[in-house]
């Protein structure tokens, strides 16, 4: 019996830049998905979960397609299907999944299941697994099998996270470097709206299309750039559509904030980093329009706590989670005040937990 673990992730800054060819700065977190693998004799894989009653037994010689009825097992099925397509050997086994990562909350629980499945299955037969390759492989499964047209950030962060470090991912070149995320007496809090995210898929695709359209228009006069993150603020007037202008202003300004964030983190200037988080949230709220009443309430309330350096939504938006960087002495006050205010405004109970920058996928 062998055990593997893949973490969730939060993005510190650089939102909605991955599919625009920019650089993003996520951390893998200390919550995630564990897979326990037990070899079997017959040519089958059995998928079970300690958190879902639904389970599935598949014959490895069958073909699989996405099917809503397969519930959470669509993620491991997508991985198995793609491994087979690429002629990787798969050992018959039972995999039991266990998770302490809230699902559907924007903390990349699906990427964690994909990465841990692929890593666990490949570990049975292959000596060395190339992690950037693994991230791209799993992203492709999410795009093609699951049908979610996400960028590379989530799978990459889940695969390559590193304890006490953020991951600066160049989503155009698909490589990374580590940036120390040493926050001393400060704490990174995740604030979960607990809001069901119904609009997320359609709105996510809408933003992607708006960015593609904006790049197409900019290309008519500025053919030198390869992606939207390389555009210049001075070019905004090429776009005569006000909505597209705001979308592109977010993309360009967010890329500048990522560049600045990397500089200030290298000098451990957490105050400036916090201000960049606040500015990022304002841009996602006003220009990119992917926040919402629930996320804004959490973020604005957290920002008012003395000792909170910054707060912002993280991930795709439209619900999900926000993060806050706060001094350890102010954590209790933040949790109490934000929870009370959030409940009074939304009628929902939020969840707030501390998380730590942690390692990516590993064998336990």
The string of DSSP codes covering 292-355 is: -HHHHHHHHHHHTSTTEEEEEEESS-SSSEEEEEEEGGGHHHHHHHHHHHHHHHHS---EEEEE
CB of 280 to ligand GLA, least distance (A): 11
Q: Torsions phi, psi of 327, nearest 5?
A: -65, 145
What is the nearest approach in angstroms of ligand GLA to the Cβ of residue 150? 3
Q: How far apart are CA 19 and CA 154, in angstroms?
A: 12
What is the rounded distance in angstroms from the CA atom of residue 341 to the CA atom of residue 62?
52
CB 294 within 8 Å of CB 195: yes
Distance in angstroms (rounded) separating the CA atoms of residues 302 and 3 = 37
Task: Judge whether 287 counts as a catalytic residue.
Answer: no
- Length of the chain as a residue count: 364
Query: By rule CB under 6 A, what string of x and - marks binding of each residue 6-45 to ligand GLA?
Result: -----x---xx-xx--------------------------
Interface positions, 307-326, toward ligand GLA (CB under 6 A): 315-316
Closest to ligand GLA by CB, 76 vs 315, is 315
Residue among 171, 173, 259 nearest 211 (CA): 171
Closer Cβ to ligand GLA, 127 or 173, answer by number: 173
Minimum Å gap between C-beta 46 and ligand GLA is 28
Shorter beta-carbon distance to ligand GLA: residue 10 or 93: 10
Part in contact with ligand GLA (CB under 6 A); list of ranges 44-52, 150-158, 291-299, 341-349: 150-158
Taking the complex as a whole, the smallest distance from the CB of residue 147 to ligand GLA amounts, in Å, to 13
Please tell me which residue in 154, 269, 287, 296 is annotated as part of the active site.
Answer: 154
Q: Which is nearer to ligand GLA, 153 or 331 (CB)?
A: 153
Residue 114 binding ligand GLA, by CB under 6 A:
no
- Count residues near ligand GLA (CB under 6 A): 11
What is the C-alpha separation between 203 and 31, in angstroms, rounded?
Answer: 27
Residues near ligand GLA (CB under 6 A) are 11, 15-16, 18-19, 150-151, 153-154, 315-316
Active site residues: 154
């Amino acid at each position: 019996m062998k055990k593997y673990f893949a973490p969730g992730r939060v993005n510190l800054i650089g939102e909605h830049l991955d599919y625009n060819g920019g650089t993003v700065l996520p951390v893998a977190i200390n919550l995630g998905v564990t897979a326990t693998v037990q070899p079997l004799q017959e040519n089958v894989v059995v998928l079970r979960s300690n958190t879902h009653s639904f389970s599935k037994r598949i014959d490895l010689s069958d073909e699989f397609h996405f099917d809503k009825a397969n519930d959470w097992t669509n993620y491991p099925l997508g991985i198995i299907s793609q491994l087979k397509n690429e002629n990787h050997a798969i050992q018959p086994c039972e995999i039991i999944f266990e998770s302490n990562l809230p699902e559907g909350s924007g903390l990349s629980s699906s990427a964690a299941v994909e990465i841990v499945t692929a890593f666990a299955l490949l570990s049975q037969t292959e000596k060395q697994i190339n992690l950037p390759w693994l991230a791209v492989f799993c992203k492709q499964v999410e795009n093609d099998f699951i049908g979610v047209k996400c960028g590379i950030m989530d799978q990459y962060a889940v695969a390559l996270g590193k304890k006490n470090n953020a991951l600066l991912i160049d989503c155009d070149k698909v490589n990374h470097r580590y940036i120390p995320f040493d926050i001393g007496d400060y704490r990174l809090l995740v604030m979960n709206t607990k809001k069901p995210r119904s609009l997320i898929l359609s709105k996510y695709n809408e933003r992607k299309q708006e960015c593609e359209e904006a790049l197409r228009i900019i290309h008519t006069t500025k053919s030198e750039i390869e992606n939207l993150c390389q555009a210049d603020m001075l070019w905004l007037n090429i776009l005569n559509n006000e909505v597209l202008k705001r979308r592109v202003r977010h993309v360009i300004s967010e890329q500048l904030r990522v560049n600045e964030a990397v500089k200030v983190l290298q000098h451990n200037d957490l105050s400036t980093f916090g201000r960049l988080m606040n500015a990022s949230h304002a841009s996602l709220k006003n220009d990119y329009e992917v926040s919402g009443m629930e996320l804004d309430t959490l973020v604005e309330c957290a920002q008012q706590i003395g000792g909170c350096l910054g707060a912002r939504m993280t991930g795709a938006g439209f619900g999900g989670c926000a993060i806050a960087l706060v001094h350890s002495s102010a954590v209790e006050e933040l949790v109490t005040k934000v929870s009370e205010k959030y409940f009074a405004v939304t009628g929902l109970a939020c969840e707030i937990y501390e998380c730590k920058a942690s390692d990516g996928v590993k064998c336990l």
